[in-house]
Structure 1
Amino acid sequence: MTETQTTEEAVSTARPSLLEARDLHVEFSSRGRRARAVDGVNLSIGAGEIVALVGESGCGKTTLARTLLGLERPTSGEVRYGGAALDYRSKALKAYRRQVQLVLQDPTGSLNPRHTVYEAVAEGPRIHGLPDEQEVVAEALSRAGLRPPERFFLRYPHELSGGQRQRVVIAGALALNPKVLIADEPVASLDASVRGEILALMLKLRADLGLSALVVTHDLGLAWNIADRVAVMYLGRIVESGPVEQVLTAPRHPYTQALMSVLPESPERVVLTGEPPDPTRIPGGCRFHARCQVLASGRAAEAGVDGKCRSEPLSVLPAVPGPQAACHYAELTG
């Protein structure tokens, strides 16, 4: 099956989505070489749904998130919101960014130390010319769990705890009343004791406001606790996706199995060998084959798919809600 056919299948079989990537490719020039940071991705996020995008550093997660936000333009393919292709003209992008907001992983870096909490949260409403600024800021802080909000208006970031700073960042996003949050490692810089509070807040926002979210993370434990669905990304492509319980309790792709093996409850540790992902040098065949523990152990040869693993590329996965994996061995063994 060709990649074009796969994309058409993705469009026809995916459930109605709020935010969607269709056959998305994003390329950069790197020291005279072409880096395929996002190399054919279909992904959908439904209304009120939380999707976790997981994978190790360098796999293309952040580039995909930035492209969904309209901060990067795709080389080919498209981003769709509410059924319409994203319009990159400045006025249309400004309107789009009211609906789709970014929550960064480092609240210390994303908050201006010279601005009070009030000024930080009011920045978005001022850019978009929203009325009743003080009321908007107070409601956003309150929804983010900073109550009473007036107590925080004149505080500076250095006067807050790490968890409170992350709540201010979330309040800044909520002030524009978005429909989708894209959260890039939202708890990575926080102490373990505070992570649960921020995750609980995100789930409450989904319950209270019907918010959708794409949570970008390398932490499968976080995905388990917050997501409805999970998409596992490797070297620019989603290699496995599906409902979080199915993917994380019975992972089919060897890469997902390796990621899962680092969790404390995992019975067996998988140590990946070979070079880490390099988007300027994507290998032939399965893009994971050079590091694959199933191929290295001889199990792929026993199943008669080792030649395919080394030489036959896999189709781009469609944006369907059910479980799926781009793996020759998984296709054969079920």
Structure 2
Amino acid sequence: MSHLLSAAGLRVTFPGRRGAPAARAVDGVDLDIGAGEIVALVGESGCGKTTLARTLLGLVTPTAGRVTFAGEPLAYKAAALKAYRKRVQLVLQDPSGSLNPRHTVYDAVAEGLRIHGYAGDEREAVAGALARAGLRPPERFFLRYPHELSGGQRQRVVIAGALVLGPELIVADEPVASLDASVRGEILALLLRLRDELGLSALVVTHDLGLAWNIADRVAVMYLGRIVETGPVETVLTSPQHPYTRALLSVLPESPLPPVVLRGEPPDPARIPGGCRFHARCQVLASGEAAAVADRCRGEELPVLGGGAVAQVACHWSAGARPAEVTAAW
């Protein structure tokens, strides 16, 4: 599979206040997204996944590393970023906050066309985007306002606004988190249909591994600024190798794993611990099961995982000391 978007050695730091250490929000990430591939970026709040997504969109300039799209490095000049954002679109979590309450559905979807100086038939383009997003007949929605729509319809309008420019990749940040459970499946099915019909690629940012299971081809699990496990979704979610991934999976209702309650809060990204960055909260290390590699966990840095499709894990225990059994498939 050819890579549509790639990040290599990506780092994003934010200066601390009053001489405090800089916060390492993204601390060495390699990530590839193939043409027509859906990748789920999963992790707790504060792990850096939204900062990583914003960096891939060109909204944040990386401190180090590079982003390439279709083989070309991303340039951080206004004209280059404007052209790039026509090809890579953002779908935000809260459709109510994404839509101007004073704009009709037509104007909300047409906004991108007007920003980019679209020279074709605007009405036809807006109608086509609304229809692809599942709002049919589209003309029935042109003059409606956001408050006249259901939550699912508003999210479809946001998706239509992203589709109207014909992007090759969308970045969806918690795309169903604010929706009722009955509507979430419809929006996920829509994203899958758009991938199949348009060849659209997607990076779906979420805290929910259950969502990743339903929509993604590949999953990347992020903790404290770095990807700690990645691979095909079936591989990672049926046989999780990293204790953090196992903890995230254990709280899902359908999980075969015993529930794991992680101790404490994630460390401050300005004071990332040495060794494995998860070791202070690791349930395997705390139980003594990882005693053979305990010193390495606390003191030996783990390498940055590659961004490709091969299953990989950044964990001393999984690399050598873990027993051979695997988790039962769901």
Tell me the TM-score normalized by structure 2: 0.95
Q: 2:63 aligns with which of 75, 78, 83?
A: 75
C-alpha distance in 1 between matches for 2:199 and 2:243: 34
Q: Secondary structure at the match of 2:124?
A: helix
Q: Secondary structure at the match of 1:33?
A: coil
| Equivalent in the alignment of 2:207 | 218
- Deviation at 1:277? 3.6
The answer to whether the aligner puts 1:169 opposite 2:158 as a matched pair is: yes
| Residue correspondence of structure 1 range 9-158 to structure 2 within 5 A | 16-31=2-17, 32-130=20-118, 131-158=120-147
The answer to whether the aligner puts 1:200 opposite 2:189 as a matched pair is: yes
C-alpha distance in 1 between matches for 2:148 and 2:211: 28
Check the 8 A contact 2:224/2:266 in 1, yes or no.
no
Q: Deviations over 1:39-76 (max 9, x none)?
A: 00000000000000000000000000000000000000
Q: Secondary structure at the match of 1:203?
A: helix
The answer to whether the aligner puts 1:292 opposite 2:282 as a matched pair is: yes
C-alpha distance in 2 between matches for 1:218 and 1:270: 16
Check the 8 A contact 1:241/1:325 in 2, yes or no.
yes
Q: 1:321 aligns with which of 309, 318, 325?
A: 309
C-alpha distance in 1 between matches for 2:308 and 2:137: 43
Q: 2:293 aligns with which of 294, 305, 324?
A: 305
| Residue correspondence of structure 1 range 269-284 to structure 2 within 5 A | 269-284=259-274
Which region of structure 1 is more displaced relative to structure 2, 125-134 or 270-279? 270-279
Q: Identity of counterpart residues, as a percentage?
A: 75
C-alpha distance in 1 between matches for 2:54 and 2:265: 26
- Deviation at 1:250? 0.5
- Deviation at 1:84? 1.0
Report the AA paired with residue 29 of structure 1: P
Structure 2, unaligned runs of 5 or more: 325-330
Q: Spell out structure 1 runs of 4+ moving beyond 4 A.
A: none
When the two structures are aligned, how many residues end up with a matched partner? 318
- Deviation at 1:274? 2.7
C-alpha distance in 2 between matches for 1:233 and 1:141: 34
Q: Secondary structure at the match of 1:299?
A: coil
Check the 8 A contact 1:234/1:277 in 2, yes or no.
no
C-alpha distance in 2 between matches for 1:280 and 1:29: 9
Which region of structure 1 is more displaced relative to structure 2, 62-71 or 32-41? 32-41
Which region of structure 1 is more displaced relative to structure 2, 202-211 or 269-278? 269-278
Tell me the TM-score normalized by structure 1: 0.94
Q: Secondary structure at the match of 1:119?
A: helix
- Deviation at 1:79? 0.6
Check the 8 A contact 2:10/2:66 in 1, yes or no.
yes
Root mean square deviation of aligned Cα: 0.9
C-alpha distance in 1 between matches for 2:141 and 2:49: 33
| Equivalent in the alignment of 1:9 | none
